[in-house]
Chains A and B, each alone.
Chain A
Amino acid sequence: MAATTAVSPPALPWLRSARPLMMLGLGVVVLVAPWLGLGDYWSRQFILIAILALVVSGLNISLGYAGELALGQVALYAVGAYVTGYLAVSHGVTDILLCLLAAIGGAIVVGFVSGIPGLRLGGWSLAMVTFFLVIIIPNVLDLLSSQTGGALGLSGIPVPTIFGAQLVGDGFYVFVIAVTIIWFAIFRNLIGSSHGDAFLVLKQSPILAATLGISVYRLKLLAYVVGAIPAGIAGVLFAFLSAYISPSSFAFALAFTILTASVVGGSQSIYGAIFGAAILQLGPERIASFQNYSLIVYGAFLVVAGLVFSDGIAGLVRSGLSQARRRGWLSSAAPIDTVGPMAESDVALATAGDDTAAVIGDLAGEALTVTELRKDFGGLTAVDDVTLEAVPGEVTALIGPNGSGKTTLLNLVCGFYKPTSGSVRLGPVELGGLAPYRSARAGVARTFQTPLIPKGMRARAFVATGRYVSHRVSMPASILRLPSFWRGSRASDAEALRLLALLGIARVADSEVASLPLGTRRLVEVARALAAEPKVFLFDEVGSGLDEEDIHRLEEAIELIRRAGGTVVLVEHNFPLVLKIADRIHVLSQGALIASGTPAEIQANRRVLEEYTGSSETVDTIEELERSDAVPGPPPAEPR
């Protein structure tokens, strides 16, 4: 019986679907608040909160979703404000829509240009480049002082107009809130689509993203550029609100406030940006009243905020709910069993002869042909002129002791390494030298020994990411929720469920994948691979660490694929599993291919056994091998 680690369902599921409506309702209330008695002071505070929330949401996209610490939001915000200031003061442009357009354009350009050096190099470099960008703001503004007013700032920014009419007082307030609502709707639609899932994948592991066919570089840049838009918008609003902008409003302290607001609200939360912005807007102003002790109180406030809100507001809600459950205030939801034995019907389906082709679809596998492939790392030859082939409808296994080059070979196929010489072809396409994401797009699907699973994703969403590239829904369609979005997302979801059911784990469709037991996670990965409809499956140590039950299920899954005509390459340590399901086995040792053949042939091959046991004595039977503890696991079933 597989371990029944409880996986709790999402807290208060109704909350999830009601949330967008609730937020919209709240938005409308805020919008009409002036007519409900909201005074000038609070109108201004709400506007300031909205402005900060916009900038924070930009950071959430890069930090919470794409996983990049991009501190440059302040610079983009400054661009928005100064573009507006310059247009309004020097050229008399007061139309707010024009200014928004110009500011967004400026922010995107600056975001793009400043993103390039950092993004290509990742995490730390991006953080440093964006940090620098912020600290040179006053220097750049000063150098351009004829346009920006330099250190003295730009004053006398006129009242904004829209279609000729002035936007003042309540009118300006309504505009700001409306723009904020629209942006958060866009943000939410984007995150709540396959693109949001792609960002999460990117955040967890760029390797996984590449394996899904996503160009990591392009997606990161996209995240950064999309995050630039709300910052630019916020800049426009701020410039018109204050009528006066100076470099001191765009200092590093603000970058830090934005980061804090993001963390406090929850960097991965959509609406958390608003909450975080509210706290970081209202809190410090209150604290200013402490006069001489302001700094000390503010410091303490930050420490407490960091300690208490380290998981963001959503984390707190979850904590609160689980505490409530522990105390019996809320009923505990019954835990969901993970994977029971496959249902009879599923087994029937799975083994019903050629009809399975209809169930799983025709996989249209291609032959993977490796010809005299070589990979040298400096003085070390990891893969030494290996030639082998994996054909559709067969399971081809690659075995060998540690360091034999199996994983390197896989990586060469996937594109993580470039071959020193030789070729790797998938059907007619040469894979050697292709970037990993291109290799994936050519039809290579791979699982990893340690499953790469993003946090915070449900199984059905994760499986659907397999189709992100092949059945792509455009961003505009996702944002605007066009019919093509609904069609695409429903189809992907249905396919994901179908594949999970096929593998007997339909029950975990709504569970968070990262918290599932290893065996189930492996199967989810297989489902994800299937979703991409690849031409070849590369399974890397997919059986390691699994118990009997899980291995059995895995075997059935691989069998399904084989029958449907897929090409399976299995890199394995688990000899009995290999003997059981492989059609052809290739044995590697120290980079070179030392034997190829059917399981029976390999079993009888002394050289192979020597390599595995490291013994110079020959071993006659596999049973002897078992007894010598060299190979793990129960006695294998009869070889085919």
Chain B
Amino acid sequence: MRVRSWVRVRRPAVAVMAVVSLLLGVVAVDGAAPAGAASTGTYTFLYSGDFTGATMAYTQAEVLGLKVAIKQINAKGGIQGKKVVLETQNDQNNPTTAVSLLEQKLTSGQKPDAMYPGGSSEVTQALLPILTRDKILGIDATSSSTLNNPSKYPYYFGDSELSAQTVPPYVVQAKAKGYKKVGMIYGNDVSGQASMQGFQTAFQKAGITFVSASFPDTAVDVTPQLEQLKAQNPDMVIFSGYGVPTLYILKGRAQISWDAPFYADLLSGAFPIVQNLPASSLHNVFIETTKPFLAGNPASTGNPVLNTFVSDAKSLGGQQVLNNIGAGVTAVGYNALILINYAAKQAKSTNGATLAKTLESLKKANAPVPWLSYGSNSQFGNFYYTSKNHYPNVFPSGFIFVGPGTYNSNGLFVPGTGS
């Protein structure tokens, strides 16, 4: 039947069906709630993230990490005897949606035992008051210093370094090379601005001149901003952009034949640059990566926990994620549950408030520590939170600058030859 007449004739019927199914959907979602909250036998971990937007790749990696942790933990009987179950919600990086979805779970009696409250600071910021109100334990990798507030958000912990913590190595590098002026080009969004402020503070403190230029996330070209920086003649340039803008930056740099050393910040460095740019554009470009995930580095080769992690990830079908996004991001999801498990063993409880207190006074673990990211003997950092600090302690020695490269089949970073 032709679409037009079908539409006209059937419209009222379709509309009725649409409204009914919407309402049924509403009822169904509520009705299908598995009975009761953390029902006695399971430990529910809720992951809230963006499954369809620009940060989709990070979501995939973090979820994979969580699944690896769950596999390992459940194989040993679960957290305090409770099997861990993963639930996910697609908040589309929208704070209001994230809150609504969580509220829905809470009011239908499906309070999670712990959760990963969003992949961006906007979402996390919106969810934290609820976590505090309902005493839900939350761990994620949103690295914004305003969220590191134990008095306001006692149940929330970060399991990835704050951008300010990733900065010192750059200052060290600049000083070592005798640079007098450093420039930065960054995306004018929350993470870009945070990153810029971190660098600005650090460089100014070190007495090095700092200049910057920003571009909107919607830009399709950043050559004018690069020109703006180039005119000020910085000795070294730091760049920050999530996703395609990183490529635009380097492409533009090549176009204007600017050979000054370009350093990616940690966020941009995680982005696959190499397969999208010719080697000539990558000359004198560096990214900051961490030794525990660098292929061939003793911190990675000598870590049995990492090896188990990688093989478990592969067995769960995560090969593509390891190849494209790397083990480092995946580990962020993994660490969240491993830390909870560790705290639960120490406190002999799965209660969120109790665990939060325990996390602030974790017993030191012996090498190899059960979590990843800062070395098997905590040589580059640790998760020993305190009542004043809910973010990991990170030592500059863990960072290293390498040329842009790719991830090998184990998800470890292999620097390219372009630098």
Contacts and interface: CB of A to CB of B under 8 A. Distances in A.
Q: Do chains A and B touch in the complex (CB under 8 A)?
A: yes
Interface of A: 39-42, 44-45, 48, 142, 150-153, 155, 242-244, 246, 248-249, 279, 282-286, 288-292, 294-295, 304-305, 307-309, 313, 316-317, 319-320, 323
B198 to A, nearest CB: 14
Contacts of A48: 96, 100
Contact of A308 (B11, B51, B121): B11
B88 A316 contact: no
Nearest to A41: B107
Nearest to A142: B188
B20 interface: no
Contacts of A320: 12
Nearest to A323: B12
Interface in B76-131: 88-97, 99-101, 103-104, 106-108, 121-122, 125-126, 129
A454 B8 CA distance: 24
Contacts of A42: 107
A14 B45 CA distance: 55
Contacts of B29: 286, 289
A151 B22 contact: no
B89 to A, nearest CB: 8
A244 B51 contact: no
Contact of B129 (A153, A243, A309): A243
Given A153-B122, A286-B25, A246 B95 contact: yes
Contacts of B14: 304, 308
Given A39-B107, A41-B106, A41-B108, A242 B12 contact: no
Contacts of B95: 242, 244, 246, 248-249
Contacts of B35: none
B51 A316 contact: no
B346 interface: no
A283 B104 contact: no
Given A39-B107, A320-B12, A291 B52 contact: yes
A572 B200 CA distance: 80
Nearest to B217: A138
Contacts of B259: none
A300 B146 CA distance: 39
A294 B90 contact: yes
B18 interface: yes
Contact of A249 (B96, B104, B193): B96
4 closest cross-chain pairs (CB), A and B: A320-B12, A41-B107, A40-B107, A288-B90
Interface string B16-53: 00110010011001100000000000000000000110
Contacts of B126: 242, 244
A152 B190 contact: yes
A142 to B, nearest CB: 7
Contacts, number: 111
20 contacts: A39-B108, A40-B103, A41-B103, A45-B100, A48-B96, A151-B189, A151-B190, A152-B193, A155-B125, A243-B129, A285-B101, A288-B101, A289-B89, A291-B52, A292-B51, A294-B51, A308-B15, A316-B15, A319-B8, A319-B12
Nearest to A322: B12
B122 A291 contact: no
Contacts of B193: 150-152
B260 to A, nearest CB: 28
B7 interface: yes
Nearest to A264: B15
Given A151-B193, A244-B125, A44 B100 contact: yes
A307 B51 contact: no
Given A41-B103, A150-B193, A294-B52, 5 more contacts: A152-B193, A249-B96, A291-B90, A294-B90, A304-B18
Given A41-B104, A153-B125, A304-B18, A292 B99 contact: no
Nearest to A39: B107
Contacts of B188: 142, 151
B360 to A, nearest CB: 23
A302 B101 CA distance: 21
Contacts of B88: 291
A313 B19 CA distance: 11
A153 B190 CA distance: 9
Nearest to A284: B97
Residue among A248, A291, A294, A309 with the most chain B CB within 10 A?
Answer: A248
Given A289-B90, A292-B51, A320-B12, A282 B22 contact: yes
A242 B190 CA distance: 19
Contacts of A39: 107-108
B22 A286 contact: yes
Contacts of A248: 93-95, 122
Contacts of A246: 95, 122, 125
A153 B147 CA distance: 13
Name, among B106, B122, B190, the residue most crowded by chain A CB atoms within 10 Å (CB to CB). Answer: B122
B125 A285 contact: no
Contacts of B190: 151-152
Nearest to A135: B218
Given A242-B126, A285-B97, A292-B51, A279 B22 contact: yes
Given A283-B22, A288-B91, A242 B96 contact: yes
Given A40-B107, A243-B129, A285-B101, A309 B96 contact: no
Given A41-B108, A246-B95, A292 B52 contact: yes
A579 B322 CA distance: 94
A267 B21 CA distance: 24
A17 B91 CA distance: 43
A308 B190 CA distance: 39
A42 B11 CA distance: 29
A242 B95 CA distance: 9
A262 B100 CA distance: 23
A39 B26 CA distance: 14
A155 B127 CA distance: 11
